[in-house]
Amino acid sequence: MTGLIQVYTGKGKGKTTAAMGLALRALGHSMRVCIVQFLKKEGGSGEIEAIKKFRGIKILHAGGVFPMRRAPSEKERKHLRKSLVEALSECENIIRRGKYDVVILDEINFAMSRKLVNPDIVIELMKIKPAGVELVLTGRGAPRRVLQEADLVTRMEEVKHPFRRGVKARKGIEY
Protein backbone atom coordinates (compact mmCIF):
# COMPACT_ATOMS: atom_id res chain seq x y z
CA MET A 1 0.00 0.00 0.00
CA THR A 2 1.14 3.52 -0.73
CA GLY A 3 0.73 5.54 2.45
CA LEU A 4 -0.28 9.17 2.06
CA ILE A 5 -0.67 12.14 4.39
CA GLN A 6 -4.20 13.37 5.04
CA VAL A 7 -5.22 16.55 6.85
CA TYR A 8 -8.74 17.21 8.16
CA THR A 9 -9.02 20.82 9.29
CA GLY A 10 -11.39 23.81 9.33
CA LYS A 11 -13.96 25.30 11.69
CA GLY A 12 -16.69 22.81 10.84
CA LYS A 13 -17.71 19.69 12.72
CA GLY A 14 -16.50 16.20 11.85
CA LYS A 15 -12.70 16.17 11.68
CA THR A 16 -12.17 13.58 14.40
CA THR A 17 -15.24 11.64 13.32
CA ALA A 18 -13.90 11.41 9.75
CA ALA A 19 -10.56 10.12 11.04
CA MET A 20 -12.29 7.53 13.25
CA GLY A 21 -14.34 6.37 10.27
CA LEU A 22 -11.10 5.90 8.34
CA ALA A 23 -9.71 3.92 11.31
CA LEU A 24 -12.72 1.59 11.23
CA ARG A 25 -12.45 1.20 7.46
CA ALA A 26 -8.76 0.29 7.79
CA LEU A 27 -9.55 -2.17 10.59
CA GLY A 28 -12.17 -3.78 8.36
CA HIS A 29 -9.33 -4.56 5.94
CA SER A 30 -7.13 -6.03 8.72
CA MET A 31 -4.88 -2.99 8.88
CA ARG A 32 -3.21 -1.97 12.12
CA VAL A 33 -4.20 1.46 13.44
CA CYS A 34 -2.75 3.77 16.09
CA ILE A 35 -4.71 6.80 17.26
CA VAL A 36 -2.94 9.45 19.31
CA GLN A 37 -5.37 11.97 20.81
CA PHE A 38 -3.81 15.29 21.75
CA LEU A 39 -5.21 17.71 24.34
CA LYS A 40 -8.38 15.70 24.97
CA LYS A 41 -9.42 14.05 28.19
CA GLU A 42 -9.32 10.29 28.24
CA GLY A 43 -12.76 8.79 27.82
CA GLY A 44 -16.03 10.50 27.08
CA SER A 45 -15.77 10.52 23.29
CA GLY A 46 -18.30 8.16 21.71
CA GLU A 47 -15.96 7.32 18.82
CA ILE A 48 -13.11 6.32 21.12
CA GLU A 49 -15.39 4.34 23.43
CA ALA A 50 -16.72 2.39 20.44
CA ILE A 51 -13.29 1.84 18.90
CA LYS A 52 -11.95 0.48 22.22
CA LYS A 53 -14.23 -2.50 21.69
CA PHE A 54 -12.27 -3.60 18.62
CA ARG A 55 -8.93 -5.36 18.57
CA GLY A 56 -6.24 -3.98 16.31
CA ILE A 57 -6.50 -0.30 17.20
CA LYS A 58 -4.11 1.22 19.73
CA ILE A 59 -5.27 4.44 21.42
CA LEU A 60 -2.94 6.83 23.23
CA HIS A 61 -3.75 10.09 25.00
CA ALA A 62 -1.04 12.71 24.87
CA GLY A 63 -0.18 16.22 25.86
CA GLY A 64 -2.53 16.77 28.78
CA VAL A 65 -5.97 18.38 28.49
CA PHE A 66 -6.54 21.80 26.91
CA PRO A 67 -9.08 23.90 28.88
CA MET A 68 -11.65 24.67 26.15
CA ARG A 69 -13.80 27.12 28.11
CA ARG A 70 -10.97 29.50 29.05
CA ALA A 71 -7.48 30.48 28.05
CA PRO A 72 -4.82 28.32 29.73
CA SER A 73 -2.52 30.01 32.24
CA GLU A 74 1.15 30.40 31.34
CA LYS A 75 1.96 27.58 33.78
CA GLU A 76 -0.58 25.33 32.03
CA ARG A 77 0.79 26.30 28.59
CA LYS A 78 4.33 25.46 29.71
CA HIS A 79 3.19 22.06 31.02
CA LEU A 80 1.21 21.36 27.83
CA ARG A 81 4.20 22.26 25.61
CA LYS A 82 6.49 19.94 27.57
CA SER A 83 3.95 17.09 27.48
CA LEU A 84 3.39 17.57 23.76
CA VAL A 85 7.11 17.47 22.94
CA GLU A 86 7.38 14.18 24.85
CA ALA A 87 4.29 12.81 23.10
CA LEU A 88 5.60 13.79 19.67
CA SER A 89 8.84 11.99 20.41
CA GLU A 90 6.78 8.84 21.04
CA CYS A 91 4.83 9.52 17.82
CA GLU A 92 8.11 9.68 15.95
CA ASN A 93 8.98 6.20 17.27
CA ILE A 94 5.54 4.88 16.33
CA ILE A 95 5.73 6.29 12.80
CA ARG A 96 9.37 5.28 12.16
CA ARG A 97 8.80 1.67 13.25
CA GLY A 98 6.07 1.24 10.66
CA LYS A 99 4.23 -1.23 12.92
CA TYR A 100 0.94 0.53 12.14
CA ASP A 101 -0.58 0.94 8.69
CA VAL A 102 -2.54 4.02 9.77
CA VAL A 103 -1.43 6.59 12.35
CA ILE A 104 -3.90 9.29 13.36
CA LEU A 105 -2.68 12.37 15.23
CA ASP A 106 -6.02 13.71 16.45
CA GLU A 107 -6.07 17.47 17.25
CA ILE A 108 -2.40 17.97 16.39
CA ASN A 109 -3.40 20.86 14.09
CA PHE A 110 -5.18 22.55 17.00
CA ALA A 111 -2.04 22.16 19.14
CA MET A 112 -0.01 23.87 16.42
CA SER A 113 -2.60 26.64 15.98
CA ARG A 114 -2.41 27.40 19.71
CA LYS A 115 1.40 27.61 19.49
CA LEU A 116 1.83 24.61 21.76
CA VAL A 117 3.68 22.63 19.09
CA ASN A 118 6.22 23.91 16.58
CA PRO A 119 4.98 23.00 13.07
CA ASP A 120 8.58 22.07 12.13
CA ILE A 121 8.30 19.02 14.42
CA VAL A 122 5.11 17.84 12.71
CA ILE A 123 6.52 18.48 9.24
CA GLU A 124 9.54 16.37 10.19
CA LEU A 125 7.15 13.55 11.21
CA MET A 126 5.48 13.89 7.81
CA LYS A 127 8.85 13.59 6.08
CA ILE A 128 10.11 10.53 8.02
CA LYS A 129 6.89 8.57 7.50
CA PRO A 130 7.60 5.20 5.87
CA ALA A 131 6.07 4.71 2.40
CA GLY A 132 3.48 2.20 3.64
CA VAL A 133 2.09 4.29 6.51
CA GLU A 134 -1.02 6.46 6.13
CA LEU A 135 -0.69 9.53 8.38
CA VAL A 136 -3.78 11.53 9.33
CA LEU A 137 -3.63 14.91 11.07
CA THR A 138 -6.84 16.42 12.47
CA GLY A 139 -7.86 19.66 14.13
CA ARG A 140 -8.73 23.19 13.21
CA GLY A 141 -6.06 25.68 12.26
CA ALA A 142 -3.62 23.49 10.31
CA PRO A 143 -0.63 25.66 9.35
CA ARG A 144 -0.17 26.47 5.65
CA ARG A 145 3.15 24.57 5.53
CA VAL A 146 1.45 21.41 6.83
CA LEU A 147 -1.27 21.76 4.19
CA GLN A 148 1.39 22.11 1.49
CA GLU A 149 3.18 18.92 2.60
CA ALA A 150 -0.04 16.85 2.75
CA ASP A 151 -1.35 14.69 -0.09
CA LEU A 152 -5.02 15.16 0.77
CA VAL A 153 -6.56 18.13 2.59
CA THR A 154 -10.20 18.34 3.63
CA ARG A 155 -11.43 21.58 5.14
CA MET A 156 -14.62 21.18 7.16
CA GLU A 157 -16.71 24.32 6.81
CA GLU A 158 -19.36 25.36 9.29
CA VAL A 159 -22.37 26.68 7.41
CA LYS A 160 -24.86 26.48 10.28
CA HIS A 161 -24.55 25.01 13.76
CA PRO A 162 -27.16 24.66 16.56
CA PHE A 163 -24.50 25.79 19.08
CA ARG A 164 -25.15 29.33 17.79
CA ARG A 165 -28.75 28.95 19.08
CA GLY A 166 -27.56 27.78 22.50
CA VAL A 167 -27.86 24.02 21.89
CA LYS A 168 -25.14 22.34 23.93
CA ALA A 169 -23.02 19.41 22.70
CA ARG A 170 -25.09 16.23 22.81
CA LYS A 171 -23.78 12.87 23.99
CA GLY A 172 -23.58 10.44 21.10
CA ILE A 173 -23.92 13.19 18.49
CA GLU A 174 -21.22 15.82 19.13
CA TYR A 175 -19.09 13.76 21.51
**How many structural domains are present in the chain?**
1
φ, ψ of residue 125 to 5 degrees: the values are -60, -40
In 10-132 the beta strands, taken as DSSP E runs, fall at: 33-38, 57-62, 102-106
The pLDDT assigned to 71 comes to 77
More confidently predicted of 172 and 17 = 17
Contact 57, 23 (CB under 8 A): yes
In-domain check, residue 174: no
The pLDDT assigned to 67 comes to 67
pLDDT, tens only, 126-160: 999 999 999 999 999 999 999 999 999 999 999 88
Domain residue limits at 25: 5-165
In-domain check, residue 173: no
- Per the DSSP assignment, residues forming a β-bridge with 105 are 36, 137
pLDDT, tens only, 31-41: 999 999 998 87
Contact 87, 62 (CB under 8 A): yes
For all residues of the chain together, what is the average pLDDT? Answer: 91
Q: Comparing 57-66, 85-94, 117-126, 132-141, which segment has the lowest mean pLDDT?
A: 57-66
In-domain check, residue 17: yes
In-domain check, residue 151: yes
In-domain check, residue 172: no
Angle CA(115)–CA(59)–CA(107) in degrees, nearest 5?
25
In-domain check, residue 175: no
- Residue 112 burial by Cβ neighbours in a 10 Å radius (0-12, 13-18, 19+): buried
Backbone dihedral region for residue 46 (phi beyond 0: left; psi -120 to 50: alpha; all else: beta):
alpha
Residue 109 in this model has a pLDDT that exceeds 90? yes
- The CATH number of residue 127's host domain is 3.40.50.300
What's this model's pTM, rounded to 2 decimal places?
Answer: 0.90
| 53-67 mean pLDDT | 82
In-domain check, residue 126: yes
